[in-house]
Structure 1
Amino acid sequence: MKIGAVGDNCIDVYKKLGKAFPGGNPVNVAVYCVRLGEDASYTGVVGTDDYGRLLKDALRDKKVDVSHVRELPGQTAITEVDFIDNDRVLGDYYEGVLEQFELTDEDIDFLATHDIVVSGIWGKIEKSLDAIKRKGVSIAFDFADKLDHPLVEEIIPHVDYAFFSYANGDDEFIQDYMKTIHAKGPQLAIVTMGEKGSMVYDGASFFHYGIVPCEVVDTMGAGDSYIAAFICGILRKKSIEECMEMGARNSSITIQYQGAWE
């Protein structure tokens, strides 16, 4: 099976630690899918700076296909990261050359060779989702915690597996929201809820799964780890409960080290 991750990337810069780690939702998902034994590619753009080379080299080292990563003159996207009680706090963001990113026809044809395509709300590919879907490829999409974002209504009819994060603790609200989302097209609506675990709605039933206890070092990449493992479970024709367990276990691995991936 092959996963096509596409969209945003960035370098997570931990100023207090003097360290920088490659990241970004689709980038992380690609790396985690390879970690789980699947093939994955990343499609996007980086700058012609040192951070751009760092990201491409790191992905190659992780055996992610970077044949469709383009270089544009300028700066690779940067997210400044800080720590508060071992939880990562995102600071300033510099979009850099990602501002110019859009998929080409060649990119779309390339993505159509995959079993599933995954992106996120900052991926800048919303205009191409219909073209990808019409080529018969399943689409997974991470809306993060942007439940009310205007793009949700635009994108959701093209999405097969819709991922959200929600930490407010109002089960009745989020279940109603998941029902509304599912009715607009996805096969599954999936919500990660931090320490409360995750919940999935398939149009008939809600499924719940908790967390895998571990020592938390850095929560960066926890949600992306869950998404990657859940997608791998889907491709392996696992049950919903098994996919949720895979997601929880994969997240527990990621949050035990600094940065989104080692």
Structure 2
Amino acid sequence: MKVLGIGDNVVDVYIPERIGFPGGNALNFSVFAKKLGHDAEFIGTFGSDFFGKNVKKILAKLKIKNDNSRTLQGENGFTKVELKNGDRKFIYSNHGGVTKTEGVFARPEYFWDKDLVHFNINGNCDQLIEYVNRENTKIIYDFSDFKINENKLQYLILRIDLACFSMPNVSRSSVSAFCKTLKKINSKISVLCTSGSKGAYFFEGKTNQLTFVEAKKIKVKDTMGAGDSFITYFSLNYFEKNQKKSIKSILEAATDFAALQCLKDGSFGYKFTIQ
């Protein structure tokens, strides 16, 4: 598949170690898709600073196309992170740096040959969804913990194929009710709700079926990027043309893929030292 992650790129700065790990929902999607053997591209806005330069160096090593991205004067997106028992805690963010202040630029033709495009709530490029040909291209959108107004939520749900949410402390009945509310907006919507160590739910609007999978029990090293790896694996397999796998089997395989990610440092293991 030809896939595109468009939106945010962030450097997660681990303290007190002062080590930077590239990440961000859109960039992580592209990296994980490439790892899974797909033709992956990233489009975003890099800062002109030390962080932006290092993210681009790492993408070059990974051979992920990003030449439709812009580099602008200013700060790259970054956060400061502490690890506590393997779980990452964000203690500071510059809210995306130039991605937030300048946005992300793309032309309609950048989407023409793509099978799947990933947008997200931190990408600052929702207006570009209108460029995607919905007849040929599937759209997934990562809402994270969905701090978004109702009008914006309705606008997006009408225009996407798979909505992804982080819902760590909810019951099955709450997930089911929430998904059915989204179906009232878009009868064909599919919804993926990840709940960390509690597992994940998938709701398919076409069938009204809600499927649950338990999380894999492992000794976690770092949870950074776990949700992104799960979303990437699931969406690529769910939207694969002529795929005949069951939803349950795809969810289980996505769980295994995300569990492996939790054994690595940072979003996908690549790092650089901050002087």
* Shorter-chain TM-score tier: over 0.9
**What is the TM-score when the length of structure 2 is the normalising length?**
0.89
Amino acid at match of 2:77: A
Task: Supply the distance in 1 between the matched residues of 2:27 and 2:65 (Cα, whole angstroms).
Answer: 11
Deviations 1:79-125 (A, max 9, x none): 111122221001211132112013332xx311221100001111112
The Cα RMSD (Å) is 1.6
Aligned equivalents of 1:35, 1:84: Cα separation in 2: 28
TM-score normalized by structure 1? 0.93
The answer as to whether partners of 2:115 and 2:136 remain within 8 angstroms in 1 is no
Looking at structure 2, the residues matched to 156 and 57 of structure 1 have their Cα atoms a distance apart, in angstroms, of 35
Quote the residue 1:175 is aligned against: 176
Taking structure 1 as reference, are residues 58 and 128 closer, same or farther at Cα in structure 2, changes over 3 Å only? Answer: same
> Could you list the runs of 5+ residues in structure 2 that have no partner in the other structure?
270-275
Structure 2 residue identity aligned to 1:178: C
Q: Following TM superposition, by how much is the alpha carbon of 1:173 offset from its aligned partner in structure 2, in angstroms?
A: 1.6
1:153 corresponds to which letter in structure 2?
Q
CA change 1:135–1:45 in 2 (3 A) is: farther
Letter in 1 for 2:266: G
Do structure 1's residue 253 and structure 2's residue 257 form an aligned pair? no
Query: Per the alignment, do residues 78 and 103 of structure 1 end up closer, same or farther by CA in structure 2, a change over 3 Å counting?
Result: same
Higher relative contact order by CA 8 Å / sep ≥ 6: 1 or 2?
Answer: 2
Amino acid at match of 2:55: L
For residues 14 and 170 of structure 1, the distance between their equivalents in structure 2, rounded to whole angstroms, comes to 32
Say whether the 8 Å CA contact 1:9–1:23 is kept in structure 2.
yes
* Distance in 1 of aligned mates of 2:149 and 2:83: 27
Residues 196-235 of structure 1: per-residue CA shift (max 9 Å, x gap): 2111111221111112222201100010000110122124
Distance in 2, matches of 1:160 and 1:199, equals 16
Q: How does 1:13-24 map to 2 (within 5 A)?
A: 13-24=13-24
Contact persistence 2:162–2:191 (CA under 8 A): yes
Tell me, yes or no, if structure 1 residue 213 matches structure 2 residue 217: yes
Share of identical aligned residues, percent?
28
Superimposed CA distance per residue, residues 19-44 of structure 1 (whole angstroms, 9 cap, x where no aligned partner): 00100001011111111111100000
Q: Deviations over 1:150-181 (max 9, x none)?
A: 43222111110111110113222221001111
Residue in 2 that maps onto 1:76: 76
Counterparts of 1:61 and 1:183, CA distance in 2: 44
Q: Secondary structure at the match of 1:65?
A: coil
Aligned length: 260
Match of 2:102 in 1: 100
Q: Does 1:152 align with 2:153?
A: yes
Q: Is the 8 A contact 1:222 1:255 kept in 2?
A: yes
Is 2:172 the counterpart of 1:165? no
Query: Residue 176 of structure 1: SS of its match in structure 2?
Result: helix
Looking at structure 2, the residues matched to 56 and 158 of structure 1 have their Cα atoms a distance apart, in angstroms, of: 31
Q: Which amino acid aligns with 1:188?
A: S
Instruction: Name the CA distance, whole Å, in 2 between partners of 1:135 and 1:96.
Output: 34
2:137 is aligned to 137
Alpha-carbon offset, residue 134 of structure 1: 4.8
2:54 and 2:130 map into 1 onto residues whose CA distance is: 32
Query: Which 10-residue stretch deviates more, 242-251 or 33-42?
Result: 242-251
The residue type equivalent to 2:136 in the other structure is: G
Distance 1:132 1:167 in 2: 31
Gaps of 5+ in 1: none
Aligned to 1:39: 39
